[in-house]
Amino acid sequence: MFFDRITRDPAVMAGAPCIRGMRFPVTTILSSLGSGMSEEELLADHPDLELEDIRQALSYAVEVLQEHGNPLRIA
């Protein structure tokens, strides 16, 4: 899959995957959604984000897990 909204730049957030070159890491989106925040709440709290940013962050996470597996043991 092509991720045109996910960028990595060593000068931005130490090279962590971010949204469109902004200082907004993919992990922030994932943890916000994982803690129960809705997409609508996330967009309202961060007006620079777009729905497609959230969707690509989720797809990116799936792709990374499929490529690298899950190093955590799940009980």
Token pair listed for 1: 């899959």
For 39-52, give one letter per residue: b (16+ CB within 10 A) or e: eeebeeebeebeee
Q: What is the pTM of this model?
A: 0.86
Residues 6+ apart with CB under 8 A from 48: 22, 24
| Tens of pLDDT, residues 14-54 | 999 999 999 999 999 999 999 999 999 999 999 999 999 99
CA distance 21 to 40: 22
CATH number of 6-68: 1.10.10.10
CA distance 11 to 26: 16
